[in-house]
Structures are given as C-alpha cells and as structure tokens.
Chains A and B, each alone.
Chain A
Amino acid sequence: MAMTRVFETDVIIIGGGIAGVCSAYYLARRGARVSLFERGAVGTQASGVNFGGLRTNGRAEPELPLSLRARRQWQKIEALVGDSCETEITGHVEICDRPEHLAAVEQWSVMAEHHGVGVQMLTGAEVARRFPWIGTKVLGGCFVAGDGAANPRLVTPVFAIAARRLGAGIYEYDAVRTARHDGTCFQIETESGTKARAPILINAAGAWGARLAAQFSEIFPLDVMAPQMVVSEPFPRMVTSTVDYPVNGRFFYARQIGRGNLLFGRGPGRADLDTGRAKYVPQNLFDASRIAVDVLPFLRGRNFIRSWAGVEGKSPDSLPFLGRSRAVGGLIHAFGFSGHGFQLGPGIGEVVAELVLDGRTSTQIEGFDPYRFEVPSKPMQAQTA
C-alpha cells in the first residue's frame, strides 16, 4: 500500500506472528480499529514452523491460566475462524523413565489439578497398555487428554483472514522502519511509506521484540533460539497422542499428523536475527534419531524427509514479556514466548484485547511482568518443549 497521508487507527500491532495476529483478531472482534504490520508474510517465523503442539501438560505454573484460557479457544477454533486449522485433540503424554523425573511430574500434576488442567497420572503398565507404540519401558507418565495439536503453517494465516473479515488491516511485506511516540500518539512509518498513528501500540515482534522495545529506550533481556523439527515420510496412523520425553536435560517430543508423517522436535537449531533465517543443526537430528529408535522403535526402518528450524525469542526464564510498558503509556509488550507460545496464541489475543479495551485482564499474567528481571528474580522452572 502506497500512501503518503498519515492514517489514524485505534491500535497498531507490529509483528504478524501468532501473538500479533491473534491480538488483531480479538481486538477486531470487539470492534477496535486495528492495523498490523508484518515484515514478511504472517506466521512465517516461529509461529509457522513450530511443532504445532497444543500443550498445557508440563507448563510452568505462571503460564497455566493463560494456557487454559487459550485451550478454551482452541476447542472451538474452527467455528471462530471459519476455516480448518487441522486441529486435533489427541491428548499429550509426558513419559518418565527416571524416578526423579517421575517425582517432579507427580508434583506438577498436583499443582496443575488446582488449575483445572485435567491430568491423569499413569503407571508404567498403563502407559504400555494405552500407548503400545511407545517402545521404552517407563515408570509412569502424565497424560492430559485435552491437549492436542494444530497445523502451525495454517493457523496464523487463517486467523489473519478471519481478522481481515472483521475489518482489521493486516499489512504483509511491509516492515516498520520507525516507531515513535509523539507525546499523545504512536506514529510509525513503514518501508512502503505508509504512516500510521494510534494511541496504542502492541509489540508482538517475537524474536525482534527487544529491538523494537529499544526504540522506546526499553531494554529487555531477550535471547534468540531456534526450535528444530524433523519429519518422517508418511505411514499409517500409529502414534495416537503427542509424546514428550526429557533426555539429558532437553525434551524430545513427537506426534503423528493426520497425513501420516511423524514430526519430532529436538533443538536447538541456530538462528540469525539479521537474516531472519534459522538453520537446523545436524547433531540434534542424530540425537533425536537415537532417542526415536528407542521410544518409537518402528521408526528404525523408516526415513526422515525434512528438517527445519525457526527463529524465536527466548527470555531468561522462558516465560514471555507480556504486559504494559512502564516507560510509554499505551505500549503493550507481547513477545518472547520462548518456544512454547503457539498454544498460547488465542489466549494472548484475548488478553491483549482486554488490556487495550478494558485496561485490565481477567487472566493472571503477573509472572510475565516485562520488568521482572530488573530485581533479583525468583528462580522459575519452565520446560522448553
């Protein structure tokens, strides 16, 4: 869009990942005028190339309220957006073959039940009976029936179409060149020359969120990470739930999609913020294969056909920066989802819409306080799968 005049809108969103696009959708649903600007196409970075897991299982406690809120949206997602996202509620099992892991998972399950996650602890025998395709003998497992998966390549584009139908302006291939606050309003200028003004600005720039915040003199400790995936050739459906298994401190996670391909993740790959491209690291693939042939032994004779990695922002405690800016009124940060933001997407959208339109949100987001690293922070545990 080539415009020379400055157009006025209610909310400007920078970043067309799932956080930004869902924010646009839920804001537009509630009648706000929204303009979203994305450097490339929507949902191409971490939002588009991730595992596609819709997992509440194993999430850190501060994330559970948001994750559960998102889960309620996922349950009706296709009715909301009017299109298929290849969503499947298959359940998700975290398996344990080390006593210390089992103890930690049991502890987590008690906490999660207080939040209403819907957890079932399984014995080793129950895991074997329920998931006969798991090849390793395990001590037990933690199963969440309400978890599942969606096709990440479709979800964000589909949300973008739905947001447009509601009147949101979603501008792709139009990077924001400058963003500033003139005392009353935010003013942005894009590569195409578009100028827009709004009293509210949403920073949904993902791995680039800290760079955008720096334009408003706010410094956040955001690192970059690259989740890495491997996919097999298709074969008849066998893996009925997503399976998660920690090996040597990092998770291995796998699911089989409707088409028959088995997708597994183990990272990290290597990301480059300047080029916006990520590379998969072959060693992860070797390690994942080693784990896979034990956990999913039928893979031994099968082939993998693709591997990839995506660029993602990571915070020191793997929880996002989500909340209002202290420095600039009207600026809301929503970035740094640290490799597990896909499931949160619709929840983020609802929360951002509430922050903008109600001035407050009904969901607990205290754990995401963008300024939590300024004071000595409490240690928090979060898994990266």
Chain B
Amino acid sequence: MAGNDRIVVVGSGPAGSRAAETLYRAGCRNLTLISEAPASGGQIYRRQPAGFKRPPASLYGDDAAKALRLHDAFDALAGEIDYRPNTLVWNIFEGAVHTSDASGTDRVEFDRLVLSTGAMDRIIPIPGWTLPGVFTLGGSQIALKNQACSIGRAVVFAGTGPLLYLVAYQYAKAGANVVAVLDSASYADKVRGAARMARMPRMLLRGLAYRRYLSRKRIMLREGVRLRSIEGGDSVQGIHFSAGGRDAFVPCDAVGLGFGLSPEMQLAEIAGCRTRFDADNRQWVVAHDGQGRAGDGIYVAGDGSAIGGADVAELAGERAALALLADIGLPGPKARLRQIERDLGQLAAFRKGVETSFPFPAGWIGEAPDETILCRCENVTFGEVRAAIDRFEPQEVNRLKALARPGMGRCQGRVCGPVLAELLSATTGKALDQVGKLRGQGPVKPISYGRTCGQADPQVDAWMRAGEKRDGDDQGF
C-alpha cells in the first residue's frame, strides 16, 4: 500500500515541518522526521530552550503568528510520526540515512527521502574575521533567539542582505548596544531592487521599518561600504571600512558578519542529486523538476536546495510532499498545487528584488590580502592558496583543495568552499561555474569514533574482544 512507503524527512524547519504535515495528512504513516535541532521551527522560527519564557512577539516579531502556526502544525504530529530531534544525518548510502545522536549512530532505511536541510551564512573573509568576537549574522541571531544573549557589549553588524537589518533591529529592540550597521550594498542597489519588491509592499515596508527604527535609535547606518579589516589583538576592538571615498574606524567588541546565505546541500549531493549554477547569485543550487523531485525517490525543499526564505520554504515543503504523494499514487488536490505555484511565483519575483538590493560583493575575494585566512579550520591563507594556484595550475576547486588543504577541516569547506571557487575564478580568469564546487562528502559534520564503533561488524567486534580477553593469558610472551 502506498501509504506504507518508508519516508524520511530531514530537517524540521519551515520546509520539513510542512512536508511532514502534508504527508501525514495524506495518510502516510511510515514517516520518520530527523532533525539536528532540539525542537522544530528551523533557524527562523527557532524555539527557546525549556525554562525561557519570552513571549512569541518578542522572539519572532511580526512573524509571531506564522511561527506559532508552524509550531502547532508540527506539534500536532507528536506521537504520530517517528520524530528524532537532536539527531544529525551525516551520510546517505544505499537507501538509508546514517544518523548520529548522543546515544550513538544508527541507520534508517527509506523508500523516499525529503531533504529540507536549510542554509548557513555566506561569508567573505576579511582581515581579522577569525578573531574571537566575530560571529556570523545567523550565529548572532541564534545567540539572541536561543539564549537571549548579545554577542558583545558594543556590536557592529556588517555585510549585506535582509538579515543584516533584521538582526540589527532585533538586537536593538532587545536592548543590545548596536554601534553600527555597515552594508556593502549601495543605496542605488536598493532603489533598483525596490521596484521589483513593490509587488509585495507589505514585506518591502517591513524592511524599511527596520531601517527607520535603527535610524531613530541613532545607530550609524552606512551603505556602499567596503569593509577593510576587523582589528584586535586577542579579540575584536573595532572595524575599519571605507564608504563614500572616506576611511573610517568604529570601535566595537563584537562583529556580526554575513553576506546572505548558502544552501546546505551536502546531503542532496551525497544522495546523487544534480546541482545547477545560479549565475545571478553566483552560487550552486540543487537541480529539481520544479516540484522538488531531485533524484530517484529524493525530494528537496526550502533553503537547503536554493535560498528563498521561510515563506518559500513552507510552500516548497508542501509542494515537495505533494510531488511525493503523486509519485506513490496519492495525488493531492490540483487547486492547492496551483495556489502554491501562484504564491511561489510572487515570492520568486520579490526574491529577485531582494537579490538586486543586496548584491554579493564577490570582487572583494580576489582582493583579499595574502596573509588573511581563507580556511579557518585548516588555517590556510589566501597567499598559500594563491601560491598553489600559481604552482600547480589547478583547473577546478576540488583539485585546489587537494593541493593546498582549504576545505579539508571540520566544516568540510561549507564556509570557505564558495570563497575558494571565487578566488580560483578571480585568479585564473575562468568563469565561476567553470571552476566547479567542492563535492559534498560524508560525514557532512564531524562524528565521534566512540559513537560509530557501536555499528561495527559482529565479527570485527568479536575479534577485538578476543584480543582484549587474552590480555591476562599471554604474559609469557
């Protein structure tokens, strides 16, 4: 029976929550939802830990109602699906996802897999970006949402993207000392983008309201900024930038840095999904059929396949679930699918406006000083990478990684991989899509040996145990 297909959903953000809800409502009962997070909601509608009692409006602002609806929809599935929070999916192999949690590692077989793995911050290394006190914008937001903490006593938010203003607004609203907001995008970029965003005036006005709020609080707002360096010895002491032809320095003890988001698509790649280059955003996305079908029995939705934001993720999660249902002989209502397509179409147009307003300043990467760290996990500098490019003339980034180590560390190149590609492209003059991308590999995040050893082959385990037992017997040797 179709409703008995073993379905695994990875991720409990807007996309994963809606996908699971849609599948459950349609009668799927063999449903497992695995999430690295302790509770559903994703990054955007992240729930506070037990014992914290902030009201939804202070956590989610204008999106409180949306957040609560999503949480409620997810909570209604409690006890009905196999829900595994605090569990990392670190690999996919032969029809099963490999998981890791506090108790060990496991594998869960599936017939169909929905990947809604979300996004992470997109970073451009500038001198000093690895100093203690520098956080990503997303990380800054999590500190606030999760623990009600500010990343510092005097905070500068720098980079670009809608999150820049949202996080600054949330910090200021929560009473944190926001010293400055430094946006690499210019005023002219925003004027161009606004024309496209005008189709959804409510969202556009909300963005403008954040800026107004920050201005009213007399927080320094600069646009068209070129960040120069973050200064400090043991920790952040200030940030250098230039704007309007003038250099400036703002003292601070923490910096929230980010330039938009990157899809977390490693699992999709491991599952065999194809990727596609999105030239407008200069980033790779997961290729799918327009409904979320990305491979044989593999579906993708939300920011983990391409950056669209929370509203897109909810709709795409539902759409991927409907595609899956159609594939197992449980087609959903056509009218609903048409409505989703219409809504997604509008959001896509708005999204183009956002991208126009906050272009990714890719040109900075080629200009980074030699001594700046490119890969913080492996402590590889721009200069070392440039030397490897010069000496070995690699044609693509995986080769460059092999030769100079960037992207080989704990984060597996999730932070520096796109930077490495930009640098190789800028140095050689090859187009960005021609230098490729770092291949997604398992484990997508570090896994403890102590956990994986529980899944050893019984014969291997027996061999090792026999060796241990014999310890006392062979003193003669």
Return chain A residues, CB-CB under 8 Å to B455.
282-283, 286
Q: Is B52 an interface residue (CB 8 A)?
A: no
**B464 and A291 contact, CB distance less than 8 A:** yes
Q: Is B17 an interface residue (CB 8 A)?
A: no
Per-residue interface assignment for chain B, residues 435 to 448, with 1 indicating a CB less than 8 Å from any chain A CB and 0 otherwise:
00000011100111
- The complex places the Cα of A44 from the Cα of B461 at a distance, in Å, of 34
State the Cβ distance, B272 to closest chain A Cβ, in Å: 10
State the Cβ distance, B450 to closest chain A Cβ, in Å: 4
How many pairs of A and B residues are in contact by the CB < 8 Å rule? 122
**B399 and A41 contact, CB distance less than 8 A:** yes
Q: Is A48 an interface residue (CB 8 A)?
A: yes
Which stretch (B145-153, B192-200, B335-343, B403-411) binds chain A?
B403-411
**A247 and B403 contact, CB distance less than 8 A:** no
Q: Is A191 an interface residue (CB 8 A)?
A: no
**B98 and A287 contact, CB distance less than 8 A:** no
Per-residue interface assignment for chain B, residues 361 to 378, with 1 indicating a CB less than 8 Å from any chain A CB and 0 otherwise:
000000000000000001
Q: Is A292 an interface residue (CB 8 A)?
A: yes
State the Cβ distance, B103 to closest chain A Cβ, in Å: 15
Return chain A residues, CB-CB under 8 Å to B442.
280, 282, 307
- Which residues of chain B from 455 to 477 have any CB-CB distance to chain A below 8 Å in the complex? 455-457, 459-461, 463-464, 467-468, 470-471, 474, 477
- The complex places the Cα of A239 from the Cα of B449 at a distance, in Å, of 17
Given A139-B474, A293-B453, A303:B463 Cβ within 8 A: no
**B409 and A305 contact, CB distance less than 8 A:** yes
**B464 and A294 contact, CB distance less than 8 A:** yes
**A308 and B395 contact, CB distance less than 8 A:** no
Q: Is B187 an interface residue (CB 8 A)?
A: no
Q: Is B249 an interface residue (CB 8 A)?
A: no
Given A259-B378, A289-B456, A305-B410, A153:B402 Cβ within 8 A: yes
**B448 and A157 contact, CB distance less than 8 A:** no
**A233 and B410 contact, CB distance less than 8 A:** yes
- The complex places the Cα of A157 from the Cα of B388 at a distance, in Å, of 11
Return chain A residues, CB-CB under 8 Å to B394.
41
**B477 and A140 contact, CB distance less than 8 A:** yes
- The complex places the Cα of A300 from the Cα of B452 at a distance, in Å, of 10
Return chain A residues, CB-CB under 8 Å to B395.
41, 172-173
State the Cβ distance, B341 to closest chain A Cβ, in Å: 36
Q: Is B22 an interface residue (CB 8 A)?
A: no
**A307 and B443 contact, CB distance less than 8 A:** yes
- Which residues of chain B from 79 to 123 have any CB-CB distance to chain A below 8 Å in the complex? 91, 93, 98, 105, 107
Partner among B107, B378, B408, B477 whose Cβ is within 8 Å of the Cβ of A139: B477
Q: Is A285 an interface residue (CB 8 A)?
A: yes
- The complex places the Cα of A286 from the Cα of B457 at a distance, in Å, of 8
Return chain B residues, CB-CB under 8 Å to A305.
408-410, 412, 443, 446
Interface size on A, residues (CB 8 A): 48
Partner among B399, B453, B467 whose Cβ is within 8 Å of the Cβ of A44: B399
**B464 and A303 contact, CB distance less than 8 A:** no
Partner among B392, B448, B460, B467 whose Cβ is within 8 Å of the Cβ of A287: B460
- The complex places the Cα of A292 from the Cα of B450 at a distance, in Å, of 9
**A304 and B450 contact, CB distance less than 8 A:** no
Q: Is A301 an interface residue (CB 8 A)?
A: yes
- The complex places the Cα of A292 from the Cα of B456 at a distance, in Å, of 11
Partner among B448, B454, B467, B477 whose Cβ is within 8 Å of the Cβ of A136: B467
State the Cβ distance, A319 to closest chain B Cβ, in Å: 27
- Which residues of chain A from 136 to 173 have any CB-CB distance to chain B below 8 Å in the complex? 136-137, 139-140, 153-154, 157, 161, 172-173
- The complex places the Cα of A286 from the Cα of B454 at a distance, in Å, of 7
State the Cβ distance, B459 to closest chain A Cβ, in Å: 5
Q: Is B246 an interface residue (CB 8 A)?
A: no
State the Cβ distance, A271 to closest chain B Cβ, in Å: 15
Which residue of B has the minimal Cβ distance to A96? B477
Which residue of B has the minimal Cβ distance to A305? B446
Return chain B residues, CB-CB under 8 Å to A140.
477
- The complex places the Cα of A285 from the Cα of B451 at a distance, in Å, of 11
Which residue of B has the minimal Cβ distance to A124? B477
Which residue of B has the minimal Cβ distance to A137? B471
Q: Is B25 an interface residue (CB 8 A)?
A: no
State the Cβ distance, A352 to closest chain B Cβ, in Å: 24
Given A286-B457, A289-B456, A303-B447, A248:B403 Cβ within 8 A: no
- Which residues of chain A from 17 to 63 have any CB-CB distance to chain B below 8 Å in the complex? 41, 44, 48
**B460 and A291 contact, CB distance less than 8 A:** yes
State the Cβ distance, A142 to closest chain B Cβ, in Å: 14
Q: Is A238 an interface residue (CB 8 A)?
A: no
Partner among B93, B378, B409, B470 whose Cβ is within 8 Å of the Cβ of A97: B470
Given A139-B477, A305-B412, A287:B403 Cβ within 8 A: no
**B460 and A306 contact, CB distance less than 8 A:** no
Return chain B residues, CB-CB under 8 Å to A360.
none
Return chain B residues, CB-CB under 8 Å to A173.
395
Return chain B residues, CB-CB under 8 Å to A233.
409-410, 446
Q: Is B391 an interface residue (CB 8 A)?
A: yes
Which residue of B has the minimal Cβ distance to A264? B449
- The complex places the Cα of A44 from the Cα of B395 at a distance, in Å, of 12
**B459 and A248 contact, CB distance less than 8 A:** yes
Which residue of A has the minimal Cβ distance to B105? A286
Which residue of A has the minimal Cβ distance to B442? A307
Return chain B residues, CB-CB under 8 Å to A383.
none
Can you spell out 9 A-B residue pairs with CB atoms less than 8 angstroms apart?
A44-B399, A97-B467, A161-B391, A161-B392, A279-B93, A286-B455, A290-B464, A301-B450, A302-B449
- Give chain A's interface residues, CB within 8 Å of chain B: 41, 44, 48, 97-98, 102, 123-124, 136-137, 139-140, 153-154, 157, 161, 172-173, 232-234, 247-248, 259, 279-283, 285-287, 289-294, 299-308
Given contacts A136-B468, A286-B455, 16 further A-B contacts (CB under 8 A): A137-B467, A153-B402, A154-B403, A234-B409, A247-B464, A279-B93, A283-B457, A289-B456, A290-B453, A291-B460, A299-B450, A303-B448, A304-B449, A304-B452, A307-B441, A307-B442
